[in-house]
Amino acid sequence: MFSDQDLAVMDSIIKRYPRSRSAIMPLLHYAQSKAGYVTNEGIELIAKLLTIETAEVSAVATFYTQYKRKPVGEYHVGVCTNTLCAVMGGDAIFAGLKEHLGIENDGVTADGKVSLEHIECNAACDYAPVVMANWEFYDNQTVQSSKDLVDSMRQGNPTPPTRGPKSLPTWKENSAVLAGINDGRANEGVQAGEPTLLGLKLAKEGK
Amino acid sequence: MSKLTPVLSAHWDEKDSFTIDAYTRNGGYKASAKALAMDPDAVIQLVKDSGLRGRGGAGFPTGMKWGFIPQGDNKEHYLVVNADESEPGTCKDTPLLMANPHVLIEGCIIACHAIRAKHAFIYIRGEVTHVVRRLNQAIEDAYKAGHLGKGIDLVLHVGAGAYICGEETALLDSLEGFRGQPRLRPPFPAIAGLYARPTVVNNVESIASVPAIIANGADWYQKYGTEKSKGMTLYSLSGHVNNPGQFEAPLGITLREILDLAGGVRTGHKLKFWTPGGSSTPLFTDEHLDTPLDYEGVAAAGSMLGTKALQIFDETTCVVRAVLRWTEFYKHESCGKCTPCREGTWWLVQILRDLENGSGSEEDLAKLLDLCDNIMGRSFCALGDGATSPITSSIKYFRDEYIAHVTGKGCPFDPVASTLFTSAGAK
């Protein structure tokens, strides 16, 4: 699963830190980018690289919800159901997607394309209701727009994020970005959406 | 004259605002050059004089925090930026970093110089991939331009979905490669922080505010804000309003003034309750429209300025449902280290679920308050305290609504009415 090139990348991740154990989180993101989830093989490799016990790596891997211990979809969809998004439509969106996809929370469609999870506040409340896919922003969603989004994923041509790269990367590709690997796409997409700019616009109008 | 004072947000409307070219074009990296030519203690004094206070929630004076780092101790010092923005309602650091990551990098260079640190870390939450991309690229570009690497190194560390890592000592444990659980204090991070070395942990907005203070001086910053709450800050308006968004204004502006700018509560509805600074700050109602939104004003009215996350809910919203959902969040995010929080939040959820679905009783309110009393101040960290805020404040202002759930044996609200697409045929 892990090639010599992967091992070289993992070595460079460890070298970022004054103490090697600090690399455990980016290494887990990186392992996830290879298999799509954190496998036992990944845990054993990280333990070996950091010269710690596999139990210590497992303890970390299972504490943080972004590390998955079983496969998720090529496109992992999170619906914010924390209070503000839930009230403004997140609950309806989540219920609509469960029905539309025929899966429950943490479920994956049979074709392996889409998985679904209800998530907590994702720091985009001025764009509520918010849906995330592979941790990219889909702002101002409705029940219908989110159904269209997952349909586009199953057809292999996902709708692009509202504030993000020009096209939606896969789960594995984005897991590598979270490991700190530069995919060269930082300049894609808008610098800000309208709500972000509202105060600045009003100030310039003298209001 | 506008009531708004865009400084952090001044160039966000330029399409390439996140690039090093745009940042430099707008005067970026001049403040760090100026600071690096100053004595470190003079930088600390300048930040102290400006009156800048922490923008992550607690409001601790930033310069004073820097001053706590022991000098001449022959130990490594560290700067750690808390970019783990996860408090429900809080959405200021994420758009800031998406639009202008370089201002944070420049702030890090200045802060490292002041506290004599050679190594800084930015701990960002893992659920914002595009922001991670932008920051990573910005750090690469700052190295290439020679702003980083000459005595100051900066590492971006990406979290993996744990609200508790916004608590500074849990963040440090996480950064050291452990489960993110809070540490007993003292010792405080200024004495024994990252790798048991003197460490400053600051919020993104606090550090990002520093370049403008260095460039324009403490007197300039002092001109904005109120007596003890100086400067300008980002207020994030969300919820049932016509135009949500970010508003950078001097501390002390009121919700009424911000709502006026934002076109008011959504048309045809009225304000019911709101949070001044995220879900961990006690709820306010329409009684508090004119409360000055500075550290002292909000505290005097019984809440906390927190992260200035103004979440607005109108009369269609069931407060019991809202509070239940926040409580489920705290239960989910409780790290499990201490009993009052781990067990207490679990019980709070059970009781609130009963109340919301109509199987609760009036005695449950007393039980909720008793549980809150045993969590507040008895938990290891502020997560437990925060969990009690929505409950105690909602019972204070909306006891009748809780009782209506008991007597009516269910929730009297139609959840569809509070969605944004009630009439859009979205069902």
Q: What is the mean pLDDT of residues B307-315?
A: 98
Over its C-alpha atoms, chain B yields an Rg (Å, rounded) of 22
ipTM of the complex in this document: 0.98
Residue A142 included in any domain? yes
Same domain for A86 and A150: yes
With a cut of 80, say whether residue A43 has pLDDT above it: yes
Mean confidence (pLDDT) of chain B: 97
**DSSP string spanning B267-290?**
TT--EEEEESSSTTSPPEEGGGTT
Mutate to test the interface with A, among B86, B132, B133 (most CBs of A within 10 A): B133
Start-to-end Cα distance in chain A: 59
Same domain for A79 and A57: no
* Residue of B16, B129, B179 lying closest to A191 (CB–CB): B16
With a cut of 90, say whether residue B402 has pLDDT above it: yes
Q: Which of A158, A92, A144, A117 is nearest to B418 (CA)?
A: A92
Structure tokens at A167: 């096209």
Residue ranges in chain A assigned as alpha helix (H): 4-14, 24-35, 40-50, 54-61, 83-85, 91-101, 143-154, 171-178, 194-204
Task: Report how far residue B180's alpha carbon sits from residue B126's, in angstroms, rounded to the nearest whole number.
Answer: 14
Q: What pLDDT band is residue B424 in, cutting at 50, 70 and 90?
A: very low
CATH number of the domain enclosing A134: 3.40.30.10
- Please, what are the domains in chain B? 20-222 (3.40.50.11540), 232-314 (3.10.20.600), 319-407 (1.20.1440.230)
Instruction: Look at residue A45 in the predicted model and tell me its pLDDT.
Output: 98
What digits encode the pLDDT tens for the residues B129-176? 999 999 999 999 999 999 999 999 999 999 999 999 999 999 999 999
Same domain for A129 and A89: yes
Q: Which residues of A touch B329 (CB under 8 A)?
A: 82-83, 120-121
Same domain for A164 and A90: yes
Q: Which amino acid is at B47?
A: V
Residue ranges in B128-254 assigned as alpha helix (H): 129-144, 168-175, 204-216, 218-222
Task: Report how far residue B136's alpha carbon sits from residue B240's, in angstroms, rounded to the nearest whole number.
Answer: 35
Decide if B307 contacts B386 (C-beta within 8 A).
no
Residue A79 included in any domain? yes
Structure tokens at B88: 């429900």
Q: Which of B242, B155, B252 is nearest to A13 (CA)?
A: B155
Residue A107 included in any domain? yes
Domain count, chain A: 2
Instruction: Look at residue B423 in the predicted model and tell me its pLDDT.
Output: 57
CATH number of the domain enclosing A44: 1.10.10
CB atoms within 10 A of CB B50: 25
With a cut of 60, say whether residue B425 has pLDDT above it: no
Structure tokens at B337: 């280290």
Q: Determine whether the interchain pair B94/A91 forms a contact, defined as Cβ–Cβ distance below 8 Å.
A: no
Sign of the CA dihedral running B86, B89, B93, B98: positive
Q: Determine whether the interchain pair A199/B246 forms a contact, defined as Cβ–Cβ distance below 8 Å.
A: yes
Q: What is the mean pLDDT of residues B317-323?
A: 98
What digits encode the pLDDT tens for the residues B119-130? 999 999 999 999
Question: Token match 């299972």: residue?
Answer: A62
Residue A197 included in any domain? no
With a cut of 50, say whether residue B308 has pLDDT above it: yes
Check residue B265 and report its DSSP letter.
B
- A47 touching B, CB under 8 A? no
Same domain for A87 and A54: no
What digits encode the pLDDT tens for the residues A55-64? 999 999 999 9
Q: Which residues of B touch A84 (CB under 8 A)?
A: 88-89, 238-239, 311, 313
Residues paired with A116 in a beta bridge: A77
Decide if B279 contacts B376 (C-beta within 8 A).
no
Residue A202 included in any domain? no
Q: What pLDDT band is residue B426 in, cutting at 50, 70 and 90?
A: very low
Same domain for A161 and A111: yes
Residue A200 included in any domain? no
Decide if B147 contacts B162 (C-beta within 8 A).
no
What digits encode the pLDDT tens for the residues A141-183? 999 999 999 999 999 999 999 999 999 999 999 999 999 999 9
How many Cα atoms are found within 13 Å in the side-chain-facing hemisphere of B291?
A: 25
Residue partners of B47: CB distance under 8 A and separation at least 6: B62, B63, B66, B114, B210, B213, B218
Same domain for A92 and A51: no
pTM: 0.97
Same domain for A160 and A81: yes
Structure tokens at A67: 């590390």
Domain boundary among A23, A39, A61: A61
Residue A194 included in any domain? no
How many Cα atoms are found within 13 Å in the side-chain-facing hemisphere of B393?
A: 24
- A1 touching B, CB under 8 A? no
Same domain for A79 and A46: no
Per the structure, the complete domain to which residue A131 belongs is given by 75-170
% of chain A at pLDDT higher than 90: 99
Decide if B340 contacts B374 (C-beta within 8 A).
yes
Same domain for A163 and A99: yes
β B153-158/B245-250 pair status: unpaired
